[in-house]
Structure 1
Amino acid sequence: MLQAVLTVLGAGAYLSPSDGTAAFFTHAGNAPVGQRWETPTELLDALYRVFTRFDLDPCALQKSRTRVKARVHFTEDGGLALPWHGTVFVNPPYGRGLAAWVAKARREVEERRARTVVALLPARPDAAYWHDHVAARAVVYFLRGRLRFSGSEPSAPFPSALAVWGATSDELIGLDKALPEAWRAG
């Protein structure tokens, strides 16, 4: 019962040592609950200045309610199974399956199914998936401050980044201009 209530609230239970309590946001961005963080409109507008429109959003919340301008939308249940194509924007669920989405993004570009993939991710350069699929393989834009995701009152309890695989030099120049507050690595 308690777990059901916590899930509805987007909280999620976790264990802490008996001699203390863990910080409130210890598991933010990695928990199996509260995984959906809807992309801020301002960030999408900046990306549209560079890409105009995406060919694919592989993990739209709902096909009828997506906010990402893309020719094709998959809901997240199909996004990992189906091949990607063209220029892709992905804001994956931030739960335990996040590593699979990041691996898929890298693989789709390396295997030439997708031309470019832009992924909005929690900035977790300490995570194994980051070392395996992002570091030295993608251009990363670390976003300044904490994003205020659409549909959420407070700012995110974690930093965010855009990982970009397969972008042309012109697209990177465009991203540099569209994201003047971001720090580019790679």
Structure 2
Amino acid sequence: MKNDEWLTPPEIIEALGEFDLDPCSPGARRPWDTAKEHYGVSDDGLTKLWNGRVWLNPPYGREAAAWLDRLAEHGNGIALIFARTETDMFFRHVWERADAILFLRGRLHFHFVTGERAKANSGAPSCLVAYGLNNVWALDRSGLDGRLVILNQSEVA
């Protein structure tokens, strides 16, 4: 059976600080919190009101673009996505709109909704995408292993 719900490794969330909202949460079936407030699949977090600092681990695939568009419009949050830098989605929602990217070293091991760590890695490199200066600073101070690329030099200077 195919699994479409994967949890962010808890050490990523811990390294980035507190978030106000996770609009792509597995809802009540989560072993750890990623934010103060969570919207599950049945809540349709894409259409609900977003407030504060947002953590976004969107559904992967074509629908991820809509979530990144919403986060870019919101302007305050961090997204965890595959580092597929050549895609139209990456160009439109990351290269052209984000403030910074942290390219993570190696491949992540996501977790099942039970909390159990997946045996296999994610199958592709991942990155954290920051929207808003406070989130650029969070990536810079996170201690996560990777390379930070600042995209919006004028805002950071």
Q: 2:15–2:144: 8 Å Cα contact kept in structure 1?
A: no
Partner of residue 26 from structure 2, selected from 61, 70, 74: 61
Q: Does 1:98 align with 2:34?
A: no
SS in 1 for 2:8: coil
Structure 1 segments unaligned to the other structure (5+ residues) = 1-7, 11-33, 110-115
- TM-score normalized by the length of structure 1: 0.70
Which residue in the other structure is 1:39 paired with?
8
- Residues 1:183 and 2:147 are matched in the alignment: yes
Which runs of 4 or more aligned residues in structure 1 lie more than 4 Å from their structure 2 counterparts after TM superposition? none
Aligned residues: 143
Instruction: Kindly state the Cα deviation for residue 180 of structure 1 after the two structures are TM-superposed.
Output: 4.6
Q: 1:119 aligns with which of 76, 79, 101?
A: 79
Query: Shift of residue 59 of structure 1?
Result: 0.9
> Which residue of 2 is the match for residue 148 of structure 1?
109
Counterpart residue identity of residue 143, structure 1: L
CA distance in 2, matches of 1:173, 1:166: 9
1:159-170 aligned at under 5 Å gives the runs 159-168=125-134
Aligned-residue Cα RMSD (Å) equals 1.8
Q: Which range is displaced more, 143-152 or 59-68?
A: 59-68
The amino acid of 2:8's aligned partner reads: T
Mapped partners of 1:117, 1:66: distance in 2: 22
Tell me which amino acid in the other structure corresponds to 1:184.
L
TM-score normalized by structure 2? 0.82
Question: Aligned AA for 2:20?
Answer: D
1:93 and 1:180, CA in 2 relative to 1: closer, same or farther beyond 3 A? closer
User: Any unmatched runs of 5+ in structure 2?
Assistant: 112-116, 151-157
Match of 2:51 among 85, 104, 118: 85
User: 1:87 and 1:179 mapped to 2: Cα distance?
Assistant: 19
Task: Please identify the structure whose Cα radius of gyration is greater.
Answer: 1
CA 1:66–1:72: 2 relative to 1, 3 Å: farther
CA offsets per residue over residues 29-48 of structure 1, 9 Å max, x none? xxxxx443310011112112
Name 1:27's counterpart in structure 2: none
